[in-house]
Structure 1
Amino acid sequence: MADMDTALKQAMQIDGAIGVALVDYTSGMALGTVGGGKELDLTVAAAGNTDVVRAKLRAMELLALKETIEDILITLDTQYHLIRPLTGRAGKGLFIYLALNKARANLAMARHQLRSIEEDLDV
């Protein structure tokens, strides 16, 4: 089992990673971040993507969908933004947010690696 810091560092090893955060979507606060910088303010991204997660959960509730969100993908001109809600009991209310450089990333591989990191994460 990996702790938060180890998991965030592993996520930054994914090809094309710009920044990663572990976010509490009940408060919008980033519990931990790695990367980002001038190119990406991870604190602002954490708060903004909290709204995305809440909106999707609300829509699923209104639609009476009994599914869980595996991940949410936002595709920009030069970046991919992956949001992966944690599925374990200890991770309830948390998500991993990963921004990738689109030209350097392999989206399928990034999703696979992020899934593995999430499965091994002990919060």
Structure 2
Amino acid sequence: MSTTLDQTLAAALEIDGATAVALVDYESGMSLGHQGTGIDLDVAAAGNTEVIRAKLRTMAALGLDDRIEDILITLGQQYHLIRLLQGADGTGLFPYLGVDTSRPNRAGARRLLTTPARPLTI
């Protein structure tokens, strides 16, 4: 049984403190879908794509033969979690999740981004 993109996004928003979520195409920087409030998720999708690209360039310059699992950006009032789901060909998607720091559940948010319960149908 698979889940739809809307179901997956809605499930992410059930995390305590979650305010916004998007699934982003790494190649284009475009959001494939998003839900939530408080953040312009199209801007966040494009901007966080640049964060990932910058980190990958830095890793290459350092000669690191490794991959990004996730990125946590800690702001004063929000956590922004990014999980790179990279395919063997270097392309892929990443879920982006905004979490209010007054009700943080980083472990739950990271677990949701790490292990999807069912295959996703886009």
- Of Structure 1 and Structure 2, the greater strand share is in 2
Tell whether the 8 Å contact from 1:25 to 1:94 is kept in structure 2 after alignment: yes
SS in 1 for 2:16: coil
Give the conservation status (yes or no) of the 8 Å contact 2:85–2:92: yes
TM-score in terms of structure 1 length: 0.86
Question: Higher mean Cα deviation, 76-85 or 6-15?
Answer: 6-15
Paired amino acid for 1:120 = R
Query: Does the alignment pair 1:112 with 2:111?
Result: yes
Structure with the larger helix share: 1
Q: For structure 2, list consecutive stretches of 5 or more residues without a partner in the other structure.
A: none
Q: Rate the CA distance shift 1:90–1:16 in 2: closer, same or farther, 3 A.
A: farther
Q: Once superposed, which parts of structure 1, at least 4 consecutive aligned residues long, lie more than 6 Å away? A: none
Q: Which runs of 5+ in 1 are unaligned?
A: none
> Corresponding residue for 1:34?
35
Corresponding residue for residue 99 of structure 1: 98
Q: RMSD value over aligned CA atoms?
A: 2.1
Q: Percent identity?
A: 54
The Cα offsets for residues 47-101 of structure 1, whole Å up to 9 and x where unpaired, read as: 1111101111111122222222111000000000001111456994210000000
**Superposition TM-score, scaled by structure 2 size:** 0.87
- Aligned length in residues: 120
Q: Which residue of 2 aligns with 1:46?
A: 45
Distance 1:70 1:43 in 2: 22
Tell me, in whole angstroms, the C-alpha distance in 2 between the residues paired with 1:50 and 1:40: 16
The answer for the alignment partner of 2:85 in structure 1 is: 86
Measure, in 2, the Cα distance between the counterparts of 1:77 and 1:29: 26
**Equivalent in the alignment of 2:75:** 76
